[in-house]
């Protein structure tokens, strides 16, 4: 038995010596969650995190139920009017009747920061060049390129262009520009424009806790920058669901027709 072990060790060392390719394929260190960790100098974000961090992204001290100006969101006049004209399906002004929510109506990509309102789990896949964030809800994902500047003139896109860097040994900071202005920043219907600039700070407090803080800077719609959070999410231990939740326009329409529309208050006939 002992001789077998020695022989095995010698063969293994010989293989490594003659084949640099084998060395290159040696697995990098992994965390308990299975993520590939490029170094130990930064935060390990492995875990099954969840759920959403709220429906209304308003400044601390604001009152979402009372709406503007009590919500303390620094709207430009057009953005306030647009927000007030929206018909969201969740939040204090929820209505099923003729919603204007582009995500619910058309299954438009949810984008960020609205994605953090969703009640699903998410995982961070950390690689040397990027962090991939994988969202269970909607079966969607995004990429955060590490340690590189933004493009000079990024194409306007649903998710924008995200670059990131690690800060200290507990935080990932994500900086996103290049939005297409077609998404809402939250579930309640606050607008986002092509001038949007979002900072997301993901801080690992301990093994079971993350803090997510959003800094919303969008001079196309708001007069000042504000911060939402920090909001705590937990390591849920269990992995993604075996079932799938994907937005599907026909499924939404069927549900609204069969279940929701019959619950609407009767409209007086004219």
Residues lying near other proteins in the complex (CB under 8 A): 50-52, 55, 89-91, 94-96, 104, 117-120, 136-137, 187, 238, 241-248, 251-252, 254-255, 258-260, 262-266
Q: Which is nearer to other proteins, 207 or 246 (CB)?
A: 246
Q: Which is nearer to other proteins, 90 or 213 (CB)?
A: 90
In the bound complex, what is the minimum distance in angstroms from residue 120's beta carbon to other proteins? 7
Tell me if 177 sits within 8 A of 210, measured CB to CB: no
Q: Which is nearer to other proteins, 74 or 102 (CB)?
A: 102
In the bound complex, what is the minimum distance in angstroms from residue 142's beta carbon to other proteins? 19
Tell me if 138 sits within 8 A of 252, measured CB to CB: no
Q: Which is nearer to other proteins, 60 or 238 (CB)?
A: 238
Distance CA(100)–CA(25), nearest Å, equals 51
Element of type H or E holding 102: helix 102-106
Distance CA(237)–CA(134), nearest Å, equals 16
Q: Let me know the angle formed at the C-alpha of 205 by 200 and 209, rounded to the nearest 5 degrees.
A: 90
In the bound complex, what is the minimum distance in angstroms from residue 257's beta carbon to other proteins? 11
In the bound complex, what is the minimum distance in angstroms from residue 26's beta carbon to other proteins? 37
SS3 35: coil
Q: Residue 91's closest CA among 214, 222, 185, 215?
A: 185
Torsions phi, psi of 176, nearest 5? -125, 130
Q: Which is nearer to other proteins, 8 or 241 (CB)?
A: 241
In the bound complex, what is the minimum distance in angstroms from residue 4's beta carbon to other proteins? 46
Structure tokens at 256: 């609204």
């Amino acid at each position: 038995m002992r001789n077998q072990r020695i022989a095995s060790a010698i063969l293994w060392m010989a293989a490594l010596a003659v084949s640099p390719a084998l060395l290159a394929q040696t697995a990098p260190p992994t965390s308990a969650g299975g993520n590939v960790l490029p170094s130990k100098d930064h935060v390990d974000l492995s875990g099954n995190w969840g759920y959403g961090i709220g429906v209304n992204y308003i400044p601390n001290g604001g009152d979402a139920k009372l709406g503007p100006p009590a919500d303390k969101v620094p709207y430009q006049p057009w953005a306030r009017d647009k927000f007030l004209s929206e018909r969201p399906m969740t939040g204090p002004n929820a209505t099923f009747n003729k919603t204007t929510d582009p995500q619910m109506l058309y299954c438009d990509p949810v984008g960020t920061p609205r994605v953090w309102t969703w009640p699903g789990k998410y995982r961070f896949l950390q690689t040397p060049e990027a962090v991939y964030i994988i969202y269970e809800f909607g079966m969607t994902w995004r990429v955060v390129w590490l340690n590189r500047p933004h493009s000079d003139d990024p194409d306007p896109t649903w998710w924008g262009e995200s670059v990131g860097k690690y800060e200290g040994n507990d935080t990932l900071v994500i900086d996103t520009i290049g939005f297409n202005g077609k998404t809402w920043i939250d579930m309640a219907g606050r607008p986002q424009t092509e001038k949007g600039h979002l900072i997301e700070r993901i801080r690992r407090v301990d093994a079971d806790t993350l803090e997510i803080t959003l800094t919303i800077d969008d001079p196309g719609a708001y007069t000042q920058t504000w911060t939402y959070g920090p909001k705590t999410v937990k390591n849920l231990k269990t992995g993604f669901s075996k079932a799938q939740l994907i937005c599907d326009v026909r499924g939404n329409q069927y549900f609204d027709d069969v279940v929701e529309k019959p619950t609407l208050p009767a409209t007086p006939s004219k």
